[in-house]
C-alpha cells in the first residue's frame, strides 16, 4: 500500500470507504492518479466542481480575491458576499440570503427560519417540520432528524425532536392526516432525491403541496444542495415544477470546490432572522463567494440548455441498453438502475478509467456542467460496455 493511503487509513477518521485511487491532478473533466492513469470524472466531487478541475475562470476569480482579502469575519463588509446574494435573489425572486459553508448548515438555517416564523406567527407549540421519506438533508443531529432514512438515525438517538416524515406520494392525504394531530410549521422537500436514489418527486404532488402550504401558511423549503445551480438544466430544480418556495437551500456546486452554502429566504421569511439569531464565522467568506459569483455568472440560458441537451444524450444512449433497467433524473443529475449491483459496476468503471458515483441501488452521475461531449461519450460507452458484460 502506498504511503499516502497508509497514513490516511491510520490517521483520518474512518467515516469514508475510499476507492483505492489517489488523485494528484485534474483539468476540466479529466483527472490523473499518482500512477499517471487518466480518469473521466463523472461525479465532480459529488456535484461540487461545477466547471471541472482547475477551471481557469473560477481559479482566476478565487485567486484574485485570495490576493486581496481572504477573510474578515462577518463584522465587516466585503464585496463578494453581497454581490453573490444579489445575483441569487435576482435570479430566484428570493429576498435575502444567509451564507454558510455546507449543505447541512444551509438546511439548519432553513429549519431555524421555519421554527421562528411559526413560533412568532402561530405560537411556540407550532414547530414540527415535515420532510419526505427517503430524503437526505445532512449529517448534523438536526438535519439527520430531518433526513427521512432510519438507517442514518441508529445509535445517534436522541435526535432533535419535532420532525415527521411522509411518503412522497401523489396526494396529500398523509400530510392532511398528520395536520389533524400536529401543528406543522414547515415542509422541506427535494425535487429530486439525490442520495435517495436520484428519484424525481412527482410534479402533481409538489404542486399540490405548494398550494396547501400557501393556504395553511406553512413554510415550504426546497433542499437544492445537490439539484441546484444548474444541475438539472434549470438554475434550481424547483423551477422545473412551476412553484415558488418560501426558502431555497443550496451548497455543493455553488462553491465550485470551496465550502459554500446558502439559505435563500423568500418574502414571508425574509426578516425572520435578525441580529444575533444566526451566524457563522466563515459564512459568506469572500474567497468562496468570489468563486460563487463567477459560477453563477456563467450559468446563463445557453449553458443551462447545454446541460439539458447533454442529459438527454446520456438518457437516450442508456435507454434500453443491455444490463440497464431504467434511467432517472433531470439534466446532468442522472441515476441508472443496472442489472448488476451498482457498486460492482462503479468498481469496474474505475478500473477502466471512469469515476461514477452510486446512490442507493443506482449508478449516479453528476458530471461537470461543461463536460466536453467527447468525455461524456467515452464515459457512457464504458458504462454501456460494463453493464452489458
Ligand atoms: C449533500 C447534501 C446535503 C449535505 O450537504 P453537506 O455539504 O455535506 O453538509 C444536504 N442535502 C442534500 C440534498 C445533499 O445532496
Question: 179 and 316 in contact (C-beta within 8 Å)?
Answer: no
**Ligand 1 pocket mutation, candidates 226, 231, 261, criterion most atoms within 8 A of CB:** 226
Q: What is the pLDDT of residues 248-282, one digit of tens each?
A: 999 999 999 999 999 999 999 999 999 999 999 99
Cis peptide before 158 (omega within 30 of 0): yes
Question: How many angstroms separate the CA atoms of 269 and 165, rounded?
Answer: 23
Residue 223: burial class (beta carbons within 10 Å; 0-12, 13-18, 19+): buried
Residues in the chain: 389
For cell 431555524, what's the residue?
112
Please, are residues 94 and 220 in contact by the beta-carbon 8 Å criterion? no
Q: What does the alpha-carbon distance between residue 189 and residue 191 come to, in Å, rounded to a whole number?
A: 6
Coil, helix or strand at residue 339: coil
Contacts of residue 141, defined as CB under 8 A and 6 or more positions apart, other chains included, come to: 156, 159, 160
- Rounded to the nearest angstrom, the distance between the alpha carbon of 118 and the centre of ligand 1 is 25
Ligand 1 nearest-atom number relative to CA 139: 9
With a 6 A CB cut-off, is 291 part of the ligand 1 pocket? no
Q: What is the dihedral of CA 316, 320, 325, 329, to 10 degrees?
A: 10
- Does residue 195 line the site of ligand 1, with CB under 6 A? yes
Residue 101: its pLDDT value, please? 98
What is the pTM assigned to this prediction?
0.97
- 32 burial class (0-12, 13-18, 19+ CB within 10 angstroms)? middle
Is the distance from the beta carbon of residue 145 to the nearest atom of ligand 1 less than 6 Å? no
- Best CA proximity match to 333, nearest among 239, 189, 195: 195
Judge whether 92 and 313 are in contact, CB under 8 Å: no
> Distance from the CA of 294 to the center of ligand 1, in angstroms?
22
Left, alpha or beta for 246 (phi > 0: left; psi -120 to 50: alpha)?
A: alpha
* Cα–Cα dist 217/195, whole Å: 29
Residue 183 C-alpha to ligand 1 middle, in angstroms? Answer: 27
Nearest protein CA to atom 8 of ligand 1, as residue: 103
Does the CB atom of residue 146 touch ligand 1 within 6 A?
Answer: no
- Going from the Cα of 232 to the center of ligand 1, the distance in angstroms, rounded, reads 16
pLDDT in tens, 132-172: 999 999 999 999 999 999 999 999 999 999 999 999 987 99
Non-local (6+) Cβ contacts of 29 within 8 A are 40, 41, 42, 44, 52, 53, 367, 368, 370, 371, 372, 375
Q: Can you give the pLDDT at residue 1?
A: 67
If residue 38 lies in a helix (H) or strand (E), which one and from where to where?
A: strand 38-41
**Pairing outcome for strands 128-132 and 184-189:** parallel
* Cβ of 201 less than 6 Å from ligand 1: no
What's the rounded Cα separation, in Å, for the pair 24 and 291? Answer: 22
For residue 258, give the DSSP letter.
B
Give me 315's grid cell: 438518457
Residue showing cell 499517471: 36
DSSP conformational letter for 134 = T
The contacts of residue 171 (CB under 8 Å, 6+ apart) are 205, 208
Half-sphere exposure of 86 (CA within 13 A, CB side): 8
Percent pLDDT > 70 in the chain is 100
Give me the tens of pLDDT residue by residue for the chain, a chain 389 residues long.
Answer: 688 999 999 999 999 999 999 999 999 999 999 999 999 999 999 999 999 999 999 999 999 999 999 999 999 999 999 999 999 999 999 999 999 999 999 999 999 999 999 999 999 999 999 999 999 999 999 999 999 999 999 999 999 999 999 999 879 999 999 999 999 999 999 999 999 999 999 999 999 999 999 999 999 999 999 999 999 999 999 999 999 999 999 999 999 999 999 999 999 999 999 999 999 999 999 999 999 999 999 999 999 999 999 999 999 999 999 999 999 999 999 999 999 999 999 999 999 999 999 999 999 999 999 999 999 999 999 999 999 99
Judge whether 104 and 309 are in contact, CB under 8 Å.
no
Distance 189 CA to ligand 1 centre (A): 13
Residue 327 contacts residue 315 (beta carbons within 8 Å): yes
Query: 278 CB less than 6 Å from ligand 1?
Result: no
CA distance 135 to 144: 10
Q: How far is the CA of 143 from the centre of ligand 1 (A)?
A: 9
Relative to the CA of 195, which ligand 1 atom is closest? 15
Amino acid at each position: 500500500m502506498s504511503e499516502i493511503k497508509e497514513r490516511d487509513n491510520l490517521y483520518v477518521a474512518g467515516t469514508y470507504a475510499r476507492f483505492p485511487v489517489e488523485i494528484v491532478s485534474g483539468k476540466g473533466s479529466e483527472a490523473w492518479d499518482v500512477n499517471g492513469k487518466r480518469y473521466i470524472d463523472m461525479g465532480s466531487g459529488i456535484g461540487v466542481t461545477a466547471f471541472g478541475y482547475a477551471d481557469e475562470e473560477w481559479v482566476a476569480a478565487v485567486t484574485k480575491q485570495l490576493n486581496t482579502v481572504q477573510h474578515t469575519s462577518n463584522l465587516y463588509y466585503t464585496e463578494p458576499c453581497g454581490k453573490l446574494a444579489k445575483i441569487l435573489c435576482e435570479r430566484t425572486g428570493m429576498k435575502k440570503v444567509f451564507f454558510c459553508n455546507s449543505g447541512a448548515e444551509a438546511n439548519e438555517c432553513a429549519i431555524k427560519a421555519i421554527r421562528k416564523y411559526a413560533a412568532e406567527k402561530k405560537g411556540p407549540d407550532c414547530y414540527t417540520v415535515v420532510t419526505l421519506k427517503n430524503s437526505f438533508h445532512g449529517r448534523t443531529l438536526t438535519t439527520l432528524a430531518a433526513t427521512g432514512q432510519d438507517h442514518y438515525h441508529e445509535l445517534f438517538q436522541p435526535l432533535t425532536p419535532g420532525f415527521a416524515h411522509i411518503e412522497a406520494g401523489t396526494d396529500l392525504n398523509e400530510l392532511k392526516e398528520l395536520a389533524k394531530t400536529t401543528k406543522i410549521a414547515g415542509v422541506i422537500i427535494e425535487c429530486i432525491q439525490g442520495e435517495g436514489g436520484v428519484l424525481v418527486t412527482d410534479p402533481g404532488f409538489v404542486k399540490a403541496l405548494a398550494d396547501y402550504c400557501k393556504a395553511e401558511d406553512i413554510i415550504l423549503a426546497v433542499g437544492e444542495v445537490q439539484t441546484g445551480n444548474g444541475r438539472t438544466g434549470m438554475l434550481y430544480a424547483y423551477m422545473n415544477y412551476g412553484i415558488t418556495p418560501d426558502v431555497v437551500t443550496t451548497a455543493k456546486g455553488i462553491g465550485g470546490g470551496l465550502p459554500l452554502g446558502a439559505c435563500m429566504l423568500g418574502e414571508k421569511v425574509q426578516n425572520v432572522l435578525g441580529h444575533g439569531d444566526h451566524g457563522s464565522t466563515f459564512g459568506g467568506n469572500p474567497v468562496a463567494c468570489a468563486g460563487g459569483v463567477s459560477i453563477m455568472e456563467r450559468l446563463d440560458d445557453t449553458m443551462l440548455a447545454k446541460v439539458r441537451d447533454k442529459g438527454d444524450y446520456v438518457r437516450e444512449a442508456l435507454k434500453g441498453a443491455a444490463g440497464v433497467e431504467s434511467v432517472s433524473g433531470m439534466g446532468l443529475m442522472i441515476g441508472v438502475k443496472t442489472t448488476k449491483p451498482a457498486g460492482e459496476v462503479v468498481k469496474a468503471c474505475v478500473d477502466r478509467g471512469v469515476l461514477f458515483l452510486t446512490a442507493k441501488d443506482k449508478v449516479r452521475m453528476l458530471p461537470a456542467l461543461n463536460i466536453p461531449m467527447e468525455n461524456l461519450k467515452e464515459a457512457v460507452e464504458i458504462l454501456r460496455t460494463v453493464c452489458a458484460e
